Amino acid sequence: MGKVVLGVAVGVAVAACAVAALVVGRRVRSRKKWKRVVGVLKELEESCETTVGRLRQVVDAMAVEMHAGLASEGGSKLKMLLTFVDDLPSGSEKGIFYALDLGGTNFRVLRVELGGQRSDLDPDVVQQPIPEQLMTGKSEDLFDFIASSLYQFVEKGNDSVQSLVTKELGFTFSFPVKQTSVSSGVLIKWTKAFAIKDMVGKEVAGALQQALDRKGLNMRVAVLVNDTVGTLALGHYHDADTVAAVIIGTGTNACYWERTDAIIKCQGLLTTSGGLVVNMEWGNFWSSHLPRTSYDIKLDAESPNPNDQGFEKMISGMYLGDIVRRVILRMSEQSDIFGPVSSSLYLPFALRMPAMAAMHGDDSPELMEVARILNDVLDIPDVPLKARKLVVKICDVVTRRAARLAAAGIVGILKKIGRDGSGGITGGRSRSDIKMRRTVVAVEGSLYTQCTMFREYLHEALHEILGEDIARHVVINVTEDGSGTGAALLAASHSSSGSVDNIQPV
């Protein structure tokens, strides 16, 4: 009997030890996995680091590349494209003008009534998403779709479709275009999600004009502008101190007002104003000072345009969600904190900017929005709170880097035009010697306007780079629908002033 009791006791003890060992083993393994995941996050944070020192290097590189791009054709990855816009709207524009705004996820048609005096503009606007198949199909189909949308818009409004008076149209086309005049230009390449092969190298305004004619619309494409240029036009209309415009949405880019004598690649360029708007196409900016991660490298390699739009791929709304997806995938592959690896994590662009911004902005204690998006968008159910916190942190690191790099880009422009308080790229004057002028930068784009954290990080970085004394002279102004409304304004100013003819590239 004694032996039996002893045997049972030993058995129980062994079983207890085995269970304890199992529990401890599991804990050790799960701690190890957690450590691995934290390691992935740490590595991400380190490789995304944007110290002020690094941002200043990016500022300098941006200003240097701007010079190089203005010095010769192909002198830099920054194309520094001439826009032939040598005059910005003054407020005296009068009449009814239409605009089409194509370039992001949505397409807009606008009608603006201008009263000849600067006032708050209240354009009629309709917006619709571009069907995905049109972004990669045939150019004629895309332009016919645009012309039909305009036709329906005019029909519903107060104007007659086949009006006897030709209406002037501003066309915002947010891709790199080599302009041949203010109203014509050739597409250099597509960016973002567009890839219509037969359009590259073709005349853009001409293609639209033909579609308008096919539809029987009595309209003339008066100006062909980039969205940054439209934004600058509206920004300047409201505030004459506006010297540059930046878009941070699906894609990113900037334009600014440049003195014609600084545009060396077009020597002898004459404009009545002595200046010209330059479309930088900063999405293609590159510098070894940019903090690049292994995720950026993979994203670029797997994109339809590798080695292209490097700055854009770190900053704009089209790509940020995909960087976050790649980080979550790596974590998921290295541990089971997200459960079995979800197949959705392998889908390029499965996580888009609005969902990512919503996770980033989730301030509920249980992060229920994060849980919902992980479940609904990435098919990852039942994620524990501490893993949800990790996801928010990833969104934060990626967003913060993007915003701070965009701020460095803006200061790069200010430096180029001598508005950063340093006396310009060659200036050696001390900051206290310099009398700063009020400098306004117009900004548009969903990432900037809809993501509070992005905005805050960008402003914080501007202050860090410039210092408080200089930063208080720099104003960031959000314009609304500027890319489209600005095109209508430019259609107005160019239809009456005829300033296009005053530009003489020699």
Which spans of this chain sit near ligand BGC (rule: CB under 6 A)? 103-104, 174-176, 191-192, 226-228, 247, 249, 251-253, 281, 283, 312
Nearest distance from C-beta of residue 155 to ligand BGC, angstroms = 29
Q: Which is nearer to ligand BGC, 106 or 334 (CB)?
A: 106
Q: Closest-CB residue for ligand BGC?
A: 251
CA distances from 77 to 185, 250, 279 (A): 20, 20, 13
How far apart (Å, rounded) are the C-alpha atoms in residues 115 and 93? Answer: 7
* Whether the Cβ atoms of residue 277 and residue 258 lie closer than 8 Å to each other: yes
Q: How far apart are CA 33 and CA 384, in angstroms?
A: 14
Closest contact distance (angstroms) between CB of 337 and ligand BGC is: 35
Element (H, E) at 434: none
Of 99 and 114, CB closest to ligand BGC: 99
Contacts of residue 61, defined as CB under 8 A and 6 or more positions apart, other chains included, come to 285, 287, 289, 412
Instruction: Return the closest-CA partner of residue 251 out of 445, 443, 62.
Output: 445
- Dihedral sign computed on CA atoms, order 75, 256, 191, 493: negative
Closer to ligand BGC at the Cβ: 101 or 464?
101
Per-residue DSSP letters for 217-232? Answer: --EEEEEEE-HHHHHH
Q: Which two tokens stand for residue 483?
A: 């890319």
Q: How far is the CB of 482 from ligand BGC (least distance, A)?
A: 12
Q: What element of type H or E holds 168?
A: strand 167-173
CB 180 to ligand BGC: min, Å: 17
Q: Which residues of 153-162 are buried (b: 16+ CB within 10 A; e: fewer)?
A: bbeeeeeebe
User: Cβ 250 to ligand BGC, closest distance in Å?
Assistant: 6
Q: Which is nearer to ligand BGC, 223 or 337 (CB)?
A: 223
249 vs 275, beta carbon nearer ligand BGC: 249
CB of 132 to ligand BGC, least distance (A): 17
- We find the least distance from the C-beta atom of residue 338 to ligand BGC, in angstroms, to be 32
- Those residues whose C-beta lies under 8 Å from the C-beta of residue 169, and which sit 6 or more positions away, are 97, 98, 99, 100, 212, 219, 220, 221, 222, 491
Q: Are strands 242-248 and 252-259 parallel, antiparallel or unpaired?
A: antiparallel
80 vs 331 by CB, closer to ligand BGC: 80
Q: Is 48 helix (H, G, I), strand (E, B) or coil?
A: coil
Between 103 and 123, CB nearer to ligand BGC: 103
Which of 89, 249 has the CB closer to ligand BGC? 249
Q: Please, what is the minimum distance in Å from the beta carbon of residue 483 to ligand BGC? A: 8
Nearer to ligand BGC, 172 or 495 (CB): 172
Q: What is the DSSP string of 268-316?
A: T-B-SSSEEEEE--GGG---TTS---HHHHHHHHHSSSTTS-HHHHHHS
The least CB distance from residue 279 to ligand BGC, in Å, is 7
